[in-house]
Amino acid sequence: MIRTLMTAAFAATALAGVASAQNFSLNPNYGTVSLSGGFTPDPYVINLQSGGSIPASNISSSCAGFITDAPDVRLQFSAGSLPLIISTSSSSDTTLVINGPDGSWYCDDDGGEYGLNASIYFNNPRSGQYDIWVGTYGSASLRPAQLHISELYSQ
């Protein structure tokens, strides 16, 4: 959890204002989700395929894995008093790339539970649009995965 907090803090500082090949204006591959603080069920789970053909390192050298051009999921979030945790669950090695409501890019590889899952923790999340890419580390192949959105715990 501490590593994830540090990763998010570093990403917010290091990636603010970075231009990207990723196009968050495209329709998301797996749709748009609107959630407000205190949402149920928690976690909100989306089944998807991680990966794509574009290296996430195109955004920043601190981003890992392969992702698609369009976001996988768009989260419209109305923040409450709890943190926001976005994480992955897969038998494959997954990564996360998020463009937050502040325009900053957040990336993680292996910050989640069980070693190969990704997790990004927003201690004081902003309300607004979160464009989320779930990547596959080391390979451009697509792999079954789940995206978890929670205010209570990471996967």
- Reply yes or no on whether the pLDDT at 52 is more than 90: yes
Can you tell me the distance from the alpha carbon of 109 to that of 95, in angstroms, rounded to the nearest whole number? 5
Beta bridge partners of 87: 119, 148
Q: How confident is the model at residue 23 (pLDDT cuts 50, 70, 90)?
A: confident
Is residue 149 within 8 Å of residue 36, measured between CB atoms?
no
Percent of the chain scored above 70 by pLDDT?
A: 85
pLDDT digits (tens, 9 = 90+) for 62-81: 999 999 999 999 999 999 99
3-class DSSP state of 35: strand
Work out the mean pLDDT of the chain and round it to a whole number. 87
Q: How many CB atoms lie within 10 A of CB 34?
A: 10
- Reply yes or no on whether the pLDDT at 12 is more than 70: no
For the chain, domain boundaries: 2-150
Can you tell me the distance from the alpha carbon of 152 to that of 82, in angstroms, rounded to the nearest whole number? 8
- Reply yes or no on whether the pLDDT at 13 is more than 80: no
**2-150: which CATH architecture?**
Sandwich (2.60)
- Reply yes or no on whether the pLDDT at 5 is more than 70: no
Picking from 79, 68, 89, the residue whose alpha carbon sits closest to that of residue 39 is 79
Can you tell me the distance from the alpha carbon of 2 to that of 57, in angstroms, rounded to the nearest whole number? 23
- Reply yes or no on whether the pLDDT at 18 is more than 70: no
Cis peptide before 43 (omega within 30 of 0): yes
Does the reported pTM lie above 0.75? yes
What one-letter code names the amino acid at 49? Answer: Q
Can you tell me the distance from the alpha carbon of 115 to that of 152, in angstroms, rounded to the nearest whole number? 20
Average pLDDT over residues 68-96: 97
